[in-house]
A and B are shown apart, each in its own frame.
Chain A
């Protein structure tokens, strides 16, 4: 027994969330799932305590998705950071793209700046757009700047010079001058070798801003666990070592949601669906991603009001969740959100002081939320105060309590429907071609209604929907992304030119992957190119092929509905993605037993409201549902971390992977 524990490692993923830290543990071919209350001050406390619950003495392989970098940025609690850039361009980060995100706000202000105007240093030096030096770096000036930075007690410096991706030598000189100063340095030519100075600077500043905090956090964890045992989830859907994550923490900025998308993709594909809309509804917001067979990436994400240009999973966040507050506005419409009761105080039924109706309260009063089941009974649910508030408000608007509750759910669904339409239509897709993969605590109460109104044919609810992000981390590979702006007419590049660009990226990738413990033959190196027609100001990422131009025309046709085969093509960036497959648990199919009859999984019968009518509704326990079972709605399926609502007449079946699949094409 002891021998086995040493030779076969136990895989554990840990996903830190606002309220709970989720654990998924894979051992002896089985998954074990649990939640532990998050520790707000020091998130590693909950991580380590939870890991203690796993049998000691095991050889652990831990994959961790942390919110440390995100929260540091959102709460503006990062390091005292300075910028060094070209003279005359010190304010680039503050000016941004000179636009405002709310056009009807007469009092519009940007979010707080990460770098104080006194800590933005300009230095005389300049490279032009052809990579030619037109002004030497002023070394005396540099010495003065280094002195000033030390005098100000700065912790971290972001260096971003114009066109440094064409010639990084000045940035490297600055790094050298900062050596032994005890200050962390992030160079834009390391973080992101791409043009558009504001986006590159912003990415570099975020890296510098979170780096000291993230290093301290990761050091604490790896001291306790052993550095080799721990890897960190990145926002691009892959994992990396602690060492790599500490070097460039900006790559981990949205690791939790990325885990969810990886989980939705892996689960969906295994179940036979590769066109997926992932739907993760939480307390304050809902994350939606459109997955067309592979991880959707974007290089123009905005986090906490700032652009992050490193590749990240493309996720849209909607301000609607279980805690969203319902109100009647001045024009007499029932609105839901964007105000939210969040986790504190939470919905009325938490009994912690919220006095306005939320989506969760509405679900409770409709009988769709089972109080004794809510997180295994860990959070007590109070029905009476919610009833009182709903009664009073409903009376004011001459409706019944149930009408109000059902109305709140209808409006919440309609908000989410609008967001999902945007996500699909923006990319030229019809939601009707997709499967909705629903996870998170609240999603499965709304998913079937939502799918029906969007014309989505089916909903898939994976096993353990409450911890799918952690599950995705467990199923992730090691992934590294590299890019370089080359900016030239495509026709002017020779084959040798192109190969030499990719070779430079590949040698970096091979070196980095060696540090991660992978040899050349274990790597999948995917080449891409960012191309556009001359005159356009946005580019498309196209997979490498022997006829790249043809590939671009086709990609343009697909994405925008037309192409111009005569048009001149401009090559903007070369891009490389290095993937090393990890040892990971596999999702096993089970044999489908003969019976479809689910009656053995029924716990009891409840009264629930659907379309204004109270109907007897069977309550099932998910853990008792076996492969091949078929249920007809109305039904509620309860499990540890989630509740599924099956509307009247819809059919739910359990597949061989224990996913629940709801057919939304028609009601019986």
Chain B
């Protein structure tokens, strides 16, 4: 292995994934993919091991390889085929995320590699617009697509396409986005073939292996810097939206030399509501945390995960049985898994890790009929909060943390498009934990309805606070309030309700935990 070629191929393989990503965002239709960049593209070797990934959203990190593996094992692909899936129980995450996988063949008909991309579709059917809902079964969340051939011998399976389009509220947008996903894979195939032609098949195949070994070495090095031992950490989700019972997430982390083992089997049994998370989400969250311990320039691939093993218990909230509701597992539970893994690591090396960040994405959707235009509307977004402080510095205010990084909707854009008026959008002062280094503050976002609408909020950390570290204070909980005729009603973390024109919904998001006790407070 040559250190120069290794770096050159690192660039070349990442370039393939990046170019797929630019193709996807350029040719996609929906704002969610084009502007919020809720997608990922990746290159895999002939056995389905990920070589390089262009990711904008961490929650896709570890889950794409599981989709590809399940397809490589189950389906025999031929030249010109592409397989589609969104089934959370076949390596997917939640139904809106559709994955498309294509093989790259050699001239003599052998599979040399795979390319794949995953994009979040704004609607895939189910009981409510946007497919993000207070559900209690997978079947309420939308159309389930097991791994099936969507493209056969270069031609789209039109029957399948028609079924998909009939099952979504926004067929034209879906069609545009799906063809962008096909173009992205075609771009990847073309670029990879060019690479093989200019560098030779053997060299390219070897360096796919070398690059996985490279990431593995770097991850081993990072793990070996963590003191050996067993560390355990426990935190809870507030509830599943149906009962008030806390949901336990527990990890036992074992570090031995350059290997890590994470056992989540002590977590709660699967629940009725939609915070169940499939194993691919746990894998993504774990991979995110460990990925943060190595330099940004290292390619994200299966090598990163080679020194890390994960166990989840079948029937638990992190490994639910088939057909459990999972819509919020991707957005809310994934954040709490990060909290517990970071918490366990901080037992080993407190000074190198931050306290808990807001630990939620504060999903809000508002839908109804705009009375001035007579058209239906559907608004969805997620709201940032405070991040955790560390031994180095304070946390940051009003920003997305960990598993998500999507943009807000500008106030003026929102008011142009929806019958809503923003009354306040500010930093929620005093919400970050106080301490030697203070936690970041959350956000206040207050919306006034200008016509009747259904409001759904999926949020966490409304009951249990984001933890501080090293004696630092916890961050403040978030709060959801409905104001009707100046009458305030405190709402739970997860709810769906019908509100009237003139009513106000006020979301205050959690602050981050602080680091170290506040010297001033102690001496008082």
Contacts and interface: CB of A to CB of B under 8 A. Distances in A.
Contacts of B35: 537-538
A537 B218 contact: no
A331 B214 contact: yes
A447 B413 CA distance: 43
Interface stretch (B63-71, B329-337, B363-371, B390-398): B390-398
A397 B3 CA distance: 9
Contact of A332 (B214, B384, B416): B214
Interface stretch (B73-81, B160-168, B417-425, B476-484): B417-425
Nearest to A102: B296
A578 B435 CA distance: 56
Contacts of B245: none
Contacts of B398: 91, 94-95, 98
A30 B4 CA distance: 46
Interface in B365-406: 383-384, 387, 390, 392-394, 396-401, 405-406
Interface stretch (B26-34, B101-109, B311-319): B26-34
Nearest to B3: A334
A195 B11 contact: no
Contacts of B390: 106-107
A411 B7 CA distance: 7
B296 A89 contact: no
B226 interface: no
A384 B90 CA distance: 61
A88 interface: yes
A450 to B, nearest CB: 13
Interface residues of B, number: 76
A39 interface: no
Given A100-B405, A560-B27, A561-B27, A330 B217 contact: yes
Interface stretch (B17-25, B112-120, B125-133, B228-236): B17-25
Contacts of A97: 407-408
Contacts of A94: 397-398, 427
B424 A89 contact: yes
A206 to B, nearest CB: 18
A494 B173 CA distance: 29
Nearest to A199: B410
B221 interface: yes
Contacts of B393: 107, 109
Given A100-B400, A407-B3, A196 B412 contact: yes
A333 B214 contact: yes
B15 A333 contact: no
A536 B29 contact: yes
Given A98-B407, A538-B34, A418 B11 contact: yes
B7 A106 contact: no
Contact of B412 (A163, A329, A538): A163
A427 B22 CA distance: 9
Given A95-B443, A98-B383, A108-B387, A195 B412 contact: yes
Choose among A97, A197, A328 the residue with the greatest number of B CB atoms under 10 Å from its CB.
Answer: A97
B26 A562 contact: no
A417 B198 CA distance: 15
Choose among A103, A109, A329, A425 the residue with the greatest number of B CB atoms under 10 Å from its CB.
Answer: A103
A99 B407 CA distance: 6
Interface in A112-133: 128-129
Given A89-B425, A109-B393, A536-B29, A562 B221 contact: no
B500 to A, nearest CB: 19
Contacts of A403: 4
A90 B426 CA distance: 7
Nearest to A334: B3
B8 interface: yes
A373 interface: no
A605 interface: no
Contacts of A333: 3, 6-7, 10, 214
A299 to B, nearest CB: 14
Given A100-B405, A411-B4, A414-B7, A535 B19 contact: no
A328 B443 CA distance: 43
A269 interface: no
B354 interface: yes
Contacts of A128: 415, 421
Contact of B22 (A109, A407, A426): A426
A466 to B, nearest CB: 28
A139 interface: no
A102 B401 CA distance: 11
Contact of B218 (A92, A329, A417): A329
A532 to B, nearest CB: 10
A490 interface: no
Interface string B285-298: 00010011001111
B179 interface: yes
Contacts of B202: none
B406 A99 contact: yes
A435 to B, nearest CB: 21
A428 interface: yes
Given A88-B425, A538-B34, A410 B4 contact: yes
A335 interface: yes
A415 interface: yes
Contacts of A108: 387, 396, 399
A129 to B, nearest CB: 4
Contacts of A197: 410-412
Interface of A: 88-92, 94-95, 97-100, 102-110, 128-129, 162-163, 195-199, 328-336, 397, 403, 407, 410-411, 414-415, 417-418, 421-422, 425-428, 487, 535-538, 559-562, 564
